[in-house]
Each structure stands twice: as C-alpha cells, then as structure tokens.
C-alpha cells in the first residue's frame, strides 16, 4: 500500500471554510495559479477518481489508474466565492479538450470538478453552459463528479512551481506563461 501524507474522504464545509477538488491538466500548473488567490488557505496536489492502490505518480502516468491529477483547494468563501474559484479554474485551462491540456495527453489530464457541495456542481454546470462556449467556441467536456477520496501526491510534487520555477523547462515554457496570463486577467483576486 502506498503511504500518503494526506487522504481526504469526508469534507465539512462551513460559511468560512470550503473545499473543492479540481482537475485542469498537470497539477503543477493548476496549483501555481490557485496558491496566488486571496481567500485560498491551502492547495494540495494529488489524485482523485481511482483506487488507493494506484494513487501514485508512476501508476497515474501509466494512463490506466483511473485517477485525475487534481488540486485540493481549501478556501474562505467569505473572501473569495465558489463562483470566482470556478471562473478562474475554467479560464486557466482548456475545458473543451478531452484527456488533454496542451502537450499533456492522457486521461489523467482530463478536466474535472470533484464537488463537495451541490452548489459547487450547480455553479460549475452554469459556467460550463453559459461561459465556456463563449470563451472557447466549443462546449465543455469537464466531468462533474461527487468527491469521494483525494490522495495527496508525493511530497516532491507539492508547491512544485514555487520550489523549482524556471529552472525546469516545463515550468518556463508551460507554467510561467499560464501564471502570467492569470495574474493579468485576475489581478483583483490575487493575494
């Protein structure tokens, strides 16, 4: 059995604490954006959608584990709303491409919202119906899935972009432009 720093099965949301799990391609990219949002208390890279036995990077990269690379986002909805979180999510990855984000291909990179409340599901569905086609000229293929279990990724994946930065070519060519676009588009939501 793999050892996990954190496994999250049950989530308790309150008026000042909410959790949502988002899959928008490589978790390094998604995490790099969400750590900069005001009201976000923590972001943890991990895996959702598959069994515990295959919740590890090697198995997920095999494209047979059933998992999605995701981030767990804990935030204060009195500071940043669920709608704002999801608007950033849909604007910072392409939710119209099945099993792909840019050059990253495979089912682990699919667009998914593992919701922890009915409101999260409803807001995501509304954005997918009304905003995504306008932004991308195509319908969203994002999966809306009730949260069951989140497995934290290996330690070296956590806060990867902030630790490695442009010393890694993937970071400099993929993540840095994404973060730059986010910073410009959502300046008012940054910490």
Q: Which residues have a catalytic role annotated?
A: 26
Q: Is 68 helix (H, G, I), strand (E, B) or coil?
A: strand
The label of the residue with tokens 């959608």 reads 49
DSSP-assigned states of every residue in 111-180? EEEEESSHHHHHHHHHHHHHTHHHHHSS----EEEE---EEEPPGGGTTHHHHHGGGSHHIIIIIHHHHH
Q: How far apart, in Å, do the first and last CA atoms of the chain sit?
A: 38
Contact at 8 Å (CB) between 7 and 25? Answer: no
């Amino acid at each position: 059995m793999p050892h996990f720093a954190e496994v999250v099965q049950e989530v308790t949301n309150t008026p000042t604490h909410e959790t949502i799990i988002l899959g928008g391609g490589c978790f390094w990219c998604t995490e790099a954006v969400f750590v900069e949002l005001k009201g976000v208390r923590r972001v943890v890279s991990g895996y959702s959608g598959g069994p515990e036995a295959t919740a590890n990077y090697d198995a997920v990269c095999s494209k047979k584990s059933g998992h999605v690379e995701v981030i767990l986002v804990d935030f204060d909805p009195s500071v940043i709303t669920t709608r704002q979180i999801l608007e950033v999510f849909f604007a910072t990855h392409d939710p119209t491409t099945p099993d792909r984000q840019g050059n990253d291909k495979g089912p682990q990179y699919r667009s998914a919202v593992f919701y922890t409340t009915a409101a999260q599901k409803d807001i995501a569905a509304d954005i997918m119906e009304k905003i995504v086609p306008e932004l991308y000229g195509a319908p969203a293929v994002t999966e809306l899935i009730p949260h069951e279990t989140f497995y934290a990724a290996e330690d070296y994946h956590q806060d990867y972009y902030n630790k490695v930065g442009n010393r890694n070519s993937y970071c400099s060519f993929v993540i840095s432009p994404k973060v730059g676009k986010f910073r410009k588009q959502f300046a008012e939501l940054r910490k």
